[in-house]
Structure 1
Amino acid sequence: MTIKNHKAAYKALGVALITSGALFFTATSAYAGSDSYVSMQLETGQQQDSKRSTPKYTSNISYHSPTAFKFAYGKHYGQYRLEGEFGYAKSTINEIIGHYGQQTDESGHEEYYSLMVNGLMDFKNTTNFTPYLGAGLGAVDVHNNVSYKPLATTGTLTSDHYSWVWGYQAMAGVNWKVKPKMDVSFSYRYFATGDHTHQQSSTSGSTTVPDIKIQAARIQFIGLGLRYAF
């Protein structure tokens, strides 16, 4: 991707962050007396294989274990919570297999920059452990940075392209209150995106390389996090 395209992608991400943040703070500011908090989460997990397709061929991608982190600002409304979240996840390519057998010299990764609005419900009790369930919806900027050489061609195909798609997630976990204003969280998260399409280029000089469509990402995460109330 060129420097110009990188700047455009990050400019779009910045505008989306500012817009979603303004809407979230406007919505939550109407409820006086609610407790605010910030949280961060580190995660690892497993990503389901994805299909890659063009008009002429289909291939399958497998991934190494992805890693992720996310930051959130939220408010309590009784047993319910509403939060805005920024997340980042990265999955490294394991292998790409298509109609011509295993591809050669495959390398690269996919990155997911997500902006989510989450709704959660706490199951409060008399202990310091509070189970919760939640779900979120938002937008995901998918960065496809992959290089591979199909056995049927002489050139290497590369993709270094960003694509915005819808995303959603479901969450469950337990918050452990270790101090009056601080919790440690243990979590499970199912994260998914819509199908995304990316531009490709070829080192053989071909000008007819088609865009490639990649099946929706499906990732299961387990995580450990901290939450601070104020």
Structure 2
Amino acid sequence: MKRLILALAMVFALALPSVSSAASGMYLAPKFLMTVQNTGIVDRSSSMGGFGLDPYSQFTLGGALAAGYDFWPQQMLPLRVEIEFAMRGNSETEWSGVRGTSEMTFNSTTLLANVYYDFHNSTAFTPYIGAGLGLAFNYLGFDTEYYNGGGYSMDDRQTNFAWQVGAGVAYAINENIAVDVAYRYLDLGYTQVDSYYGDAGIRPYNHEFMLGLRFGF
């Protein structure tokens, strides 16, 4: 996460003095993510019963960097396409049941191909809608302890199909730089951990609020 924040800061520092023209349609877009991560339905084997595993949501922070192309300057088409890489903080919680406690850690990094439709008008504000497809690199882990002593840990990493839909609005500071505010729903695919002691799975999804800049060049 620290590496991504440093990379975003470098993009801000380098892009501001170097931007000269947005006529090409190419752009870079660093984004700050405010995410409500949700486990969705928690599935578990009978051996993991009694630990109080229930759906859970948590607010986390993250960052993203996208490279895209805007068809409006050259083709007068209100479309944008971009590739986006995003990282998020861990979602962590602890459940208690009749048999013991279980701590869960979940994290997801995504690589998405996004398409946006811009509603151009005579003002500096441009609303848009968008959707995307890609990959979610998910981590899921459980640390379980019995009240009468003992316990076990299990974790796994999975690569899943991911998709998102959302909407936002951009404000053009000048011809080359725009401030971007957006919301999206992001589905991260079913993620499961299997072990000798049992198995558990979640159906994670995010509500994400994004604040970013778009640098045209």
Q: Tell me, yes or no, whether TM beats 0.5.
A: yes
Amino acid at match of 1:163: Q
Counterpart position of 1:133: 129
Q: Please point out which of 173, 180, 184 is paired with 1:178.
A: 173
Cα distance in 2 between the residues matched to 1:84 and 1:60: 34
Highest relative contact order (Cα 8 Å, sep 6+), 1 or 2?
2
Counterpart position of 1:165: 160
Say whether the 8 Å CA contact 1:61–1:96 is kept in structure 2: no
Amino acid at match of 2:193: H
> Per the alignment, do residues 45 and 183 of structure 1 end up closer, same or farther by CA in structure 2, a change over 3 Å counting?
same
> Per the alignment, do residues 197 and 125 of structure 1 end up closer, same or farther by CA in structure 2, a change over 3 Å counting?
same
Cα distance in 1 between the residues matched to 2:170 and 2:146: 47
Q: Does 1:54 align with 2:45?
A: yes
Say whether the 8 Å CA contact 1:61–1:94 is kept in structure 2: no
Q: CA RMSD in A?
A: 2.3
Q: Deviations over 1:186-217 (max 9, x none)?
A: 110111111112244xxxxxxx323x342221
> Per the alignment, do residues 197 and 49 of structure 1 end up closer, same or farther by CA in structure 2, a change over 3 Å counting?
closer
Shift of 1:123: 0.5
Cα distance in 1 between the residues matched to 2:24 and 2:203: 36
Q: Runs of 4+ in structure 1 displaced over 3 angstroms?
A: 55-58
Counterpart position of 2:12: none
Cα distance in 2 between the residues matched to 1:95 and 1:61: 11
1:56 counterpart SS class: helix
Say whether the 8 Å CA contact 2:88–2:108 is kept in structure 1: yes
Amino acid at match of 2:81: L
Q: Please point out which of 194, 207, 210 is paired with 1:223.
A: 210
Q: Deviations over 1:22-72 (max 9, x none)?
A: xxxxxxxxxxx8511110111213233430412534522423212221111
Say whether the 8 Å CA contact 1:52–1:61 is kept in structure 2: no
Cα distance in 1 between the residues matched to 2:128 and 2:152: 45
TM-score by length of 2: 0.76
Say whether the 8 Å CA contact 1:144–1:162 is kept in structure 2: yes
Say whether the 8 Å CA contact 1:175–1:184 is kept in structure 2: yes
Q: Number of residues paired by the alignment?
A: 186
Counterpart position of 1:94: 93
Counterpart position of 1:43: 33
TM-score by length of 1: 0.72
2:47 counterpart SS class: coil
Cα distance in 1 between the residues matched to 2:129 and 2:27: 17
Q: List gaps (5 residues or longer) in structure 1.
A: 1-32, 201-207
Say whether the 8 Å CA contact 1:119–1:134 is kept in structure 2: yes
> Per the alignment, do residues 112 and 71 of structure 1 end up closer, same or farther by CA in structure 2, a change over 3 Å counting?
same
Q: Does 1:63 align with 2:57?
A: yes
Cα distance in 2 between the residues matched to 1:156 and 1:64: 25
Counterpart position of 1:124: 120
Say whether the 8 Å CA contact 1:84–1:117 is kept in structure 2: yes
Say whether the 8 Å CA contact 1:39–1:226 is kept in structure 2: yes
